[in-house]
Chains A and B, each alone.
Chain A
Amino acid sequence: MAQKFSSPYDHQAPAGAEGWQDLYPYYMVFQDNLRSDEEAKFFFCDSQHWPNVFKPFDAITVEFAVKCLGQYNTRQWLIPPANGIDFKIHNGYCYMSPVGVPPEQIGDRVPLFMERAGYYFQNWNDLLANWHKKVDAVIAEMEAVTFEPLPDIIPMDWVTQGVGLDPTYHLIGNYNKMIDLCYKTWMYHFEFLNLGYAAYLDFFGFCKEAFPGIPDLAIAKMVQGVDSDLFRPDDELRKLAKLALANGSAEVILSHNLTDALAQLAQTEGGQAWVAAWDGAKYPWFNFTSGNGFYSTDKYWIEHLDIPFGYVQNYIQQLQAGQSIDRPTEAIAAERDRISGEYRDALDEAAQGAFDGKLGLARVVFPYVENHNFYIEHWAMSVFWRKMRDLANVFVGAGFFADANDMFYFRREEIQNLLFDYGRGWAMGVPAIGPSYLPAEVARRKAIVDALSTAPPKPAFNEPPAVITEPFTIMLWGITTESVQGWLNTSESGNQLKGMAASPGTVEGLARVINNPDELGQLQQGEILVTRVTAPSWAPVFGKIKATVTDIGGMMSHAAIVCREYGLPAVTGTGSASTTIKTGDRIRVNGGQGEVTILEAAA
């Protein structure tokens, strides 16, 4: 049995990807002179959050997110045993390495941690109300930012007001402001998250000790909320489907595309009511990505209204076929009470007190763990990417790029160069250099990214620790001693994959491997979704599928939460399901045991 994973230094990029290192900042790639240091660390691939190869600009998300996660552990809360998480981009994918605290320093951090984290726990609800204000303000600030092409001449009122500046100043300033606001967003993202996980882990650890062998799923079900803002976008679509049937708009909606349907509906009273409801649901709820918010290629509903419209059509058809489309919230709530009640009954009185206290705290903090995802990854990032595309379109107008997406082949600090090139030519009255220089460079970088995308990531690099103990690694990524051993043994396991028992139930069916959200339309009724990672906005397709299998993710990964909500079996964190299983394979998913079996390979 292999005891360690290969070194990243021995893991070469696919042919055609030569020079890929230059697409990312120097500090994000493995440097040759640091080989012995880097090989001493265990890295695991985070394909849960970043399943696809990064375009250079998109690396901003991993950079901000992981840095901001670290700042709280290391500098604000002083989590006694855990600093931040080191990460590197290698061959286009990102790999994480948790940073422990030297044992001799742990004791000194304890009183600081107790005071600082204690303050947040004691004032959780007030601080969280303030968090919502701060996040709303950041989003409003981002929404207010505009990117306009430079005018031929400076407006007259700038002259009369004696402004003494030109529009390039604001163009560059607005770009910097957007980066700044994005950075701020990611700090807020982690302001409560690590503490939320810590409280959850405390209850988790208590249950593991009081009820040896308790399924992780049981613990998740006791803590998990019934209503989350993350489910609101999908709930809005269900309401729209019901409204369409109630007021006679259903046939128009089913038989037209969005544009034509809206035109038709405007002519009837019921139709107008439906359109009003549709428009009312858009903000903020359609700031909802079909990806996970981490890529410029994410499609947000609000910019791709055909996506939610298609889901509404699906829901209408399901209703017409007599199916219920309601989330069984009452049943979920009753099940949550039953499970917590039965475990509580299994304890003696003293332990019941501790159980109540820990479960109570976990339930106070957990809504944040679920809700933040809507506010940051969906809403704030929707605005961020939209504004960045507005800027890209300014570049397209100025002849820098043929396509707005080309901008994302440049690193965030390179965009400042492009802006200055644009403004410089505009000011001097000469052509900017970009339009003649950039096309070849875009093509070169595209070729590299495409080449990197031909190879899937490795699950991990270097030697794993004997036991995985870092609490956030276990909680966020579902990475445990067992799962790492499972990856090491993958080649021996044949037709069986092990993962997290994320949502119970056993089903058999045909697999459909989905590599990106654009392929979701290929899913057929009753198939089993196999993918690296799911996004909450895929919820409407969950009415079609039988089960879900992902490569990576823990009990509280988005896939696990959504599958439990929808009562579908799910196995997460299998390491390699999306590459081991092929579309058309007949597979069995045992979500209660975390097992996936390939019963029959596709012909």
Chain B
Amino acid sequence: MGNDMTYTLFFDEATPDDYPLLGGKGASLASMSAANLPVPVGFCITTDAYAAFLHESGLFETLMAGVADIDCTDFAALDRQSAQLRQQLLDSPMPQTIETAIRTAYARLCQQVNSPDSLPVAVRSSATAEDLPDASFAGQQDTYLWVVGADEVVEHVRRCWASLYTGRAINYRQHQGIAENEVLMSVVVQKMVNARSAGVTMTLNPTNGDRSKIAIDASWGLGEAVVSGEVTPDHFLVDKVMLEPVKTAIHIKTIEHVPDPVSRCVQIRAVEADRAGLPSLTDEEVKAVCRMAKIVEKHYRCPQDIEWALDADLPDGQNLMLLQSRPETVWTQKKAAPQATHTTGMAGILNTLMNPIASKPN
């Protein structure tokens, strides 16, 4: 980076040295991108940009003083005063250099996917305090879907910044003793995934902890329907090593979540009867999900719980998108389980002959 101040960084150009500028979510996307994992393309507006905005607009002092003034035990005051702070932030002009940087990056993103000037993106906040033990901090900020055009992107970046000053966020920081002057924010701008099918994948068999399997739950539309349990998803249990299906169950998936470009909200709609019972993934797509899951697991060196989607706007073979991955916790933490004893050598052979495979319950 030639500049001391880097205002935008694409996921695939950020180096680990840059990660502190990207916030937790942004750094995670950049590291997955560096591992050749197919995250939807995008860039971060760095914490440097946010810091420059605060200082050049003179807001920094205003915000520090404003927050110091708030009594968090008085909920009505908290709501009122925090709303004022957010409004001030939204009303402050953005320095030209920053705005230009955001517009340039967005134009470049549009160009990358051949969508001149109007690529729908998700704009998400990515705070720097996410490495705190309580990761739920990440959820305190906002996400805006289906943002279209440079003007809107700039506007929603500002809204993300403002979301640092919701009553909840301020209250949280005070409770956690997080110093206000250390709180910075990056904003992630990422291509919207127009999910044809989506789901959740575990890099083990969740019913018995067998790590030689990959379990996939998939349904039509966005993964929300699977995560929330509103449909009985298709289930694919696949041998992780051979990538051969071990068990496949196709269910009737009556509804799907799809992004609605008009309302910019996710819409729930009924799936046509003839599509509801079809597999939401082809055999080849199941394998693609598994291949990706194996790479993710290897990248993080422990079993993973992965959200992904197949983008209807991208060609076959390039349409699988990794949305999120976190460590699997249920079986990974079950260390105390008594381990089966294994007979080896002659005792093992005798045991095998005396208890043939076919007579054992599956």
Chain A residues in the interface with B (C-beta under 8 A): 79-82, 106, 110, 113-114, 117-118, 121, 198-199, 201-202, 204-206, 208-215, 217-218, 338-339, 342-343, 345-348, 350-351, 353-354, 357-358, 361, 467-471, 474, 480-481, 501, 504, 592-593
A350 touches B342 (CB 8 A): yes
With A211-B210, A212-B210 in contact, do A201 and B242 touch (Cβ < 8 Å)?
A: no
In order of increasing CB-CB distance, the 3 nearest A-B pairs are A354-B342, A213-B246, A346-B211
Q: Which of B213, B239, B245, B346 has the most CB of A within 10 A?
A: B346
Which one of B42-50, B177-185, B347-355 is at the A interface?
Answer: B347-355
| B176 contacts across to A, CB distance below 8 A | none
CB distance from B331 to the nearest CB of A (A): 11
CB distance from A501 to the nearest CB of B (A): 8
The yes or no answer to B228 lying at the interface (CB within 8 A) is no
B245 touches A593 (CB 8 A): yes
Inter-chain pairs besides A110-B350, A198-B353, A354-B344, 20 sampled, C-beta below 8 Å: A80-B350, A81-B356, A114-B346, A117-B346, A117-B349, A118-B346, A208-B360, A210-B210, A215-B244, A339-B242, A342-B240, A345-B211, A346-B240, A353-B342, A357-B348, A358-B348, A469-B359, A471-B353, A471-B356, A474-B357
The yes or no answer to B135 lying at the interface (CB within 8 A) is no
Q: How far is the CA of A439 from the CA of B186 in the complex (A)?
A: 99
Interchain CB contact (< 8 A) of A198 among B205, B245, B340, B352: B352
Q: How far is the CA of A342 from the CA of B295 in the complex (A)?
A: 13
A358 touches B246 (CB 8 A): no
Q: How far is the CA of A208 from the CA of B212 in the complex (A)?
A: 11
Interchain CB contact (< 8 A) of B352 among A351, A468, A471, A481: A471
Q: How far is the CA of A218 from the CA of B244 in the complex (A)?
A: 10
A346 touches B210 (CB 8 A): yes
CB distance from A197 to the nearest CB of B (A): 10
CB distance from B186 to the nearest CB of A (A): 35
B213 touches A213 (CB 8 A): yes
Q: How far is the CA of A474 from the CA of B339 in the complex (A)?
A: 29
| B242 contacts across to A, CB distance below 8 A | 214-215, 217-218, 339, 504, 592
Closest B residue by C-beta to A199: B349
**Can you name 15 A-B residue pairings with CB atoms under 8 Å?**
A80-B350, A80-B353, A81-B354, A198-B353, A204-B352, A208-B360, A213-B213, A218-B242, A218-B244, A339-B241, A346-B240, A351-B340, A481-B358, A592-B242, A593-B244
Closest A residue by C-beta to B343: A354
Closest A residue by C-beta to B211: A346
Closest A residue by C-beta to B337: A348
Interchain CB contact (< 8 A) of B348 among A202, A470, A471: A202
Q: How far is the CA of A208 from the CA of B357 in the complex (A)?
A: 8
CB distance from A345 to the nearest CB of B (A): 8
B362 touches A212 (CB 8 A): yes
B340 touches A469 (CB 8 A): no
| A218 contacts across to B, CB distance below 8 A | 239, 241-242, 244
| A357 contacts across to B, CB distance below 8 A | 344-345, 348
B358 touches A351 (CB 8 A): no
A213 touches B344 (CB 8 A): no
| A114 contacts across to B, CB distance below 8 A | 346, 350
| A348 contacts across to B, CB distance below 8 A | 339
Q: How far is the CA of A113 from the CA of B247 in the complex (A)?
A: 38
With A202-B348, A346-B210 in contact, do A209 and B360 touch (Cβ < 8 Å)?
A: yes
| A358 contacts across to B, CB distance below 8 A | 344, 348
The yes or no answer to B263 lying at the interface (CB within 8 A) is no
Closest B residue by C-beta to A479: B358
With A350-B342, A354-B344, A592-B244 in contact, do A201 and B359 touch (Cβ < 8 Å)?
A: no
| A118 contacts across to B, CB distance below 8 A | 346
Interchain CB contact (< 8 A) of B357 among A106, A205, A211, A217: A205
With A212-B362, A351-B339, A469-B359 in contact, do A202 and B210 touch (Cβ < 8 Å)?
A: no
Q: How far is the CA of A345 from the CA of B210 in the complex (A)?
A: 11
Q: How far is the CA of A215 from the CA of B353 in the complex (A)?
A: 21
With A468-B358, A469-B356 in contact, do A113 and B344 touch (Cβ < 8 Å)?
A: no
Q: How far is the CA of A110 from the CA of B346 in the complex (A)?
A: 11
The yes or no answer to B237 lying at the interface (CB within 8 A) is yes
| B352 contacts across to A, CB distance below 8 A | 198, 201-202, 204-206, 471
Interface residues on B, range: 35 or more
CB distance from B347 to the nearest CB of A (A): 8
CB distance from A477 to the nearest CB of B (A): 13
| A470 contacts across to B, CB distance below 8 A | 356
B350 touches A350 (CB 8 A): no
CB distance from A322 to the nearest CB of B (A): 28
B346 touches A121 (CB 8 A): yes
Q: How far is the CA of A110 from the CA of B351 in the complex (A)?
A: 10
A346 touches B212 (CB 8 A): yes
Q: How far is the CA of A95 from the CA of B170 in the complex (A)?
A: 82
CB distance from B188 to the nearest CB of A (A): 33
| A198 contacts across to B, CB distance below 8 A | 349, 352-353
With A206-B348, A213-B239 in contact, do A79 and B246 touch (Cβ < 8 Å)?
A: no
CB distance from A443 to the nearest CB of B (A): 48
| A361 contacts across to B, CB distance below 8 A | 345
Q: How far is the CA of A192 from the CA of B53 in the complex (A)?
A: 80
B350 touches A204 (CB 8 A): no
| B247 contacts across to A, CB distance below 8 A | 213
| B241 contacts across to A, CB distance below 8 A | 218, 338-339, 342-343, 346
With A198-B352, A214-B239, A347-B211 in contact, do A474 and B345 touch (Cβ < 8 Å)?
A: no
Q: How far is the CA of A468 from the CA of B237 in the complex (A)?
A: 26
The yes or no answer to B282 lying at the interface (CB within 8 A) is no
Closest B residue by C-beta to A470: B356
The yes or no answer to B3 lying at the interface (CB within 8 A) is no
B212 touches A343 (CB 8 A): yes
Q: How far is the CA of A353 from the CA of B348 in the complex (A)?
A: 13
Q: Which of A199, A214, A343, A351 has the most CB of B within 10 A?
A: A214
CB distance from A333 to the nearest CB of B (A): 16
CB distance from B343 to the nearest CB of A (A): 8
CB distance from B337 to the nearest CB of A (A): 9
| B358 contacts across to A, CB distance below 8 A | 467-469, 474, 480-481
B357 touches A212 (CB 8 A): no
The yes or no answer to B333 lying at the interface (CB within 8 A) is no
CB distance from B59 to the nearest CB of A (A): 52
Q: How far is the CA of A355 from the CA of B167 in the complex (A)?
A: 56
Interface string of B161-198 (1 = CB under 8 A from A): 00000000000000000000000000000000000000
Q: How far is the CA of A481 from the CA of B212 in the complex (A)?
A: 25
Q: How far is the CA of A209 from the CA of B357 in the complex (A)?
A: 9
A-facing residues in B221-263 (Cβ within 8 Å): 237, 239-242, 244-247
Interchain CB contact (< 8 A) of B354 among A106, A351, A468, A474: A106
Q: Which of B208, B213, B241, B354 has the most CB of A within 10 A?
A: B241
Q: How far is the CA of A202 from the CA of B348 in the complex (A)?
A: 6
With A211-B210, A354-B344 in contact, do A504 and B244 touch (Cβ < 8 Å)?
A: yes
CB distance from B295 to the nearest CB of A (A): 13
Q: How far is the CA of A355 from the CA of B143 in the complex (A)?
A: 48
A474 touches B356 (CB 8 A): yes
B340 touches A212 (CB 8 A): no
Q: How far is the CA of A471 from the CA of B242 in the complex (A)?
A: 25
Closest B residue by C-beta to A195: B349
CB distance from B75 to the nearest CB of A (A): 50
| A208 contacts across to B, CB distance below 8 A | 357, 360
| A201 contacts across to B, CB distance below 8 A | 349, 352-353, 356-357
Closest A residue by C-beta to B342: A354
Q: How far is the CA of A209 from the CA of B247 in the complex (A)?
A: 16
With A114-B350, A202-B352 in contact, do A212 and B208 touch (Cβ < 8 Å)?
A: yes
Q: How far is the CA of A279 from the CA of B340 in the complex (A)?
A: 57
